[in-house]
Chain A
Amino acid sequence: MERTGRWRRLSEALLNPRVDDRRLESALASARERAPVPLIWLIGKTQSGKTSIIRALTGSPAAEIGNGFQPCTRTARIYDFPATAPVVRFLDTRGLGEVDYDPEDDIRFGESQAHLLLAVMRACDLDQEVVLGVVRTVRQRHPEWPLVIVQTALHEGYPPDFEHPHPYPFDAEPSPAGLPADLARALRVQRDQAGDLPGRAPVRWVPVDLTLPEDGYAPADYGLEALWKAIDTLSALPLRHLLGRDSEVMDLFEQAAHPHIVGYALAAAGVGALPLVDLAGVPAIQAKMLQSLAALHAQTWDRRTILEFLGLLGTGVGIAYGTRMAGRTLIKLVPYLGQTLGAVWGASASGATTFALGKAAAYYLRRRNLALSTEARALRRVFADQITQGAKLLRESS
């Protein structure tokens, strides 16, 4: 009876026009505690392009971009991405060197939270002692933190009418002859200024030029690929994979939906690892996820749609869903061994089912957007496939 009970509970949570916010909140909070989301700390002078980097990495327009001549990020700010169930978090501190700003508190805060340090410098601004000073201190105290130094605003070193060089030449060593001499020298001087930075973890230098489309440089996110590569090779987080920025993911909707699904799956996994708490938390998280996915696809998520979606998934999936949930909950009740085993199983199971549920919903919503009917069998296959995918992803990211 337990399995259908879970299924019914999910249906109830879904059909309830509003998920119980309080319950969801506590569930997400406990999930965050269990599985802390990776936090990337960006430091650099004011208007060096920190927020532009966040925006380019996440594709989120929520990160407000400055005008280039005035500090824009007024307080240290954490960007959760996606906002409700974050996959990754960025700590954007106020720009160093800003008038009337003492960065001491922000630095202390960043040190207590971060997992990866991203230093940002305008390529042609050769007065970077402040930034390098902070980097040196932080690396001394946290030698294990990977460091990526991003050199931004390359176009400032271009002669007039010069276009971004293609292919991206900055990986090559020494840099090829086609580069503007001033820019090449400025990049080199910044590295020389940094010298040998303390710390064990490797340091990567990545020149990028993140402009706005209307600025007239194509592409607007020049060098982003190299930045992805640097982050992925340096850190333990398969960030690009988590954010769904794979080249394989072509569909815009899927690109946007993926980090949401991963975020909720991670949250569900986090909650699932706690004995008994998950009983209440996981369906709430899943309901919330389906709601936001519908919102992403610009569709009304009303009773009829939900009933149709659940009907298509069918009782078969319902039973599978139920047993997984019930099984791990029971296991967790076994003393000692059960605690650990159950936690692992529960974590991966509720995470994986959430992931699969999200992917199936995304598939269903996409079909609906295209005004196509969805076959029950296809949907179930998506669900089944994505359970394995989800389990794999969660194993990788944990």
Chain B
Amino acid sequence: MNRIDPWWLVSLLLWLVPFVALLPLGFVWLHQHDAALYWFATIILCGLLGFGVQFWLRRRERAALDLEHTGPDPAWPPSADGAWTQVEELAETLDPADWPLDEEMRLGVLALRTLERVAGHFHPEVETPLLELRVPHALLIIERASRDLRRSITEHVPLSHRLTIGTLARAYRWRGFAERVLSLYRAGHLVLNPVGALLNEALGQLRQRGFAAAREDLYRWLLQEYVRQVGRYAIELYSGRLPLNDAEPVERLTRDSRRDLERAVEIERAPREHLEQEPMRFLVLGRSNAGKSSLINALFGHPRAAVDILPDTTRALTPYRLEHDGLDQALILDSLGAERLSYQTLHDAANVADAILWVSAAHRPDRQSERRTLQALRTALAARIDRRPPPVLVVVTHIDQLRPLREWRPPYDLTDTTCLKAMSIQAAVAALATDLDVPIAHVIPVCLAEGRFYNVEDTLWAALLEQMDRAQRARLLRCQVAQRRQENWTLLRRQLANAGRFLLAWPGRSSRHSAPP
């Protein structure tokens, strides 16, 4: 302060005086014209309006923040739902005042608390569930979290690629000086223009309060996101979903699919292609003669499966490879009539399916057995908490056999109440939805009779592709379950082998052998 020459200050003031004088002069002018009150009123009004706009902006921001938050992974098994509820609960009850930013260790404590909650959910039987973490998994989680942090900083913090840690440190050091200069400016202002400065101060306070509230919102959101992110990884970790190899689980073939693909190749007598990725598995179920094999042929667009009016043309489960636009690689499994399949076969087949196509004939209303089978299947699938049940689509076949019997003039508009056939089809679809207890949107009428293909390529495929999301999720979980089982064994085998080699190479061992006492 003492480094500044007073004469310099005087010259600076001389420059400023005319401008500074404007304010009191203007005030005098206002006073003379009896307009001072109006001026004050305008100031207050503008201030209030500004505050209102800020308040509105803040609400909008908060709404945007609420929309933008981490949710549970849809691919999680149902067993993770409880853990996520706990994480959400913790996030909701956070008070930003309890977790000040400048105390660095506090955030670590918050993360630890989140981890403990999740670990406790998955391992309620042990006293310190946090220790149930396996060592390679802990290393993996650090790796992943760092990767995510890097990504979000590069993407969201402007100029972060130019920012060095040194810049950050310097900026922090200069902060004190900048604050001191600012308060000096404010003090000087008060001396030179008391009225304007007072008003400025008041407005500034008002603004700051608004911003402080907005900042608190943002901070709360950040804290909640933090807890959710940590919780998310913790759930991945403790539910045992994290495989130790980097590849996505669906990028490797499961044993079931490898076997089925080999059989499919054998059935088609096609040249063998090497397949690495796990295919989507569609299971076609239904009663004998409902049209399962015809459906498969229709999906392929050319005959693959044997079709006959007599039942039992299909062995228990016959796999076919299916390729279609919008579908990378799929196996479609044709089955015997559901009433002929043993419950175990049916259940096993459904367990390794990512989507189920239930084929039912429109003109066979004796659906008691179908209803029972489907219900049993659903109950069994819902009971597995480590898997999401695969989506079920009901395919209604033989719609050409509905009244009027001899009419077949597709396409039919099912909402057309003047067309008898369309009405019959619509009513049959509704009856099937009720009988089998499925939403009507999942019931697709098709015709598979020779030369009368209808609704397969457009509607059925569209419905299938619409279910693809749910099917993908089912596939992911299925692969994880299959791979965890496989991984445990391969790892154990490899570790034992390596340990053996290690022991063989143990220096003391060979010397002992070479030099017996």
Contact = CB atoms under 8 A, between A and B. Distances in A.
Interface in A181-201: 182, 185-186, 189
B309 A98 contact: no
A121 to B, nearest CB: 11
A71 interface: yes
B34 interface: no
A97 B288 CA distance: 15
A101 B372 CA distance: 12
Contact of B311 (A67, A127, A156, A217): A127
Interface in B327-383: 337, 339, 362-369, 371
Interface in B67-95: none
A106 interface: no
A209 B128 CA distance: 75
B224 interface: no
Given A99-B371, A160-B451, A68 B366 contact: no
A217 B403 CA distance: 12
A351 interface: no
A69 B428 contact: yes
B427 A69 contact: yes
B366 A46 contact: yes
15 contacts: A47-B364, A68-B401, A69-B363, A69-B402, A69-B424, A70-B427, A96-B366, A97-B368, A98-B365, A99-B371, A122-B364, A127-B287, A127-B339, A130-B366, A216-B407
Contacts of A206: none
B310 A68 contact: no
A186 B309 CA distance: 7
Interface in A132-161: 155-157, 160
Nearest to B401: A156
A116 to B, nearest CB: 23
B289 interface: yes
B452 A160 contact: yes
Contacts of A97: 366-369
B405 interface: yes
Nearest to A123: B309
Contact size range, A: 35 or more
A95 interface: yes
B97 to A, nearest CB: 60
Nearest to B369: A97
Contacts of A185: 309-310
Contact of B405 (A71, A95, A216): A216
A215 B289 contact: no
- What 6 A-B pairs are tightest by C-beta distance, nearest first? A97-B366, A69-B428, A216-B406, A215-B405, A45-B366, A182-B309
Given A126-B311, A157-B309, A67 B427 contact: yes
A125 interface: yes
Interface string B266-293: 0000000000000000000001110000
- The DSSP consensus for interface residues of chain B is loop
Given A101-B368, A127-B288, A160-B452, A47 B405 contact: no
A155 B405 contact: yes
B408 interface: yes
A52 interface: no
Interface in A61-115: 67-71, 95-101
A215 B427 contact: no
Contacts of A126: 288-289, 309-311
Interface residues of B, number: 34
Contacts of A100: 368
B404 interface: yes
A173 interface: no
B431 interface: yes
B372 to A, nearest CB: 9
Given A69-B363, A156-B363, A127 B405 contact: no
B427 A217 contact: no
Nearest to B400: A160
Contacts of A246: none
A122 B364 CA distance: 9
A267 interface: no
A251 interface: no
B435 interface: yes
Nearest to B403: A68
A248 interface: no
Given A126-B311, A215-B403, A160 B408 contact: yes
Interface in B419-433: 424, 427-428, 431-432
A127 B309 CA distance: 11
A214 B404 contact: yes
B287 A98 contact: no
A76 B473 CA distance: 48
A166 to B, nearest CB: 17
Interface in B309-324: 309-311
A178 B451 CA distance: 22
Please indicate which of the listed interface residues B309, B407, B424 has the most CB atoms of chain A within 10 Å of its own CB: B309
Nearest to A48: B366
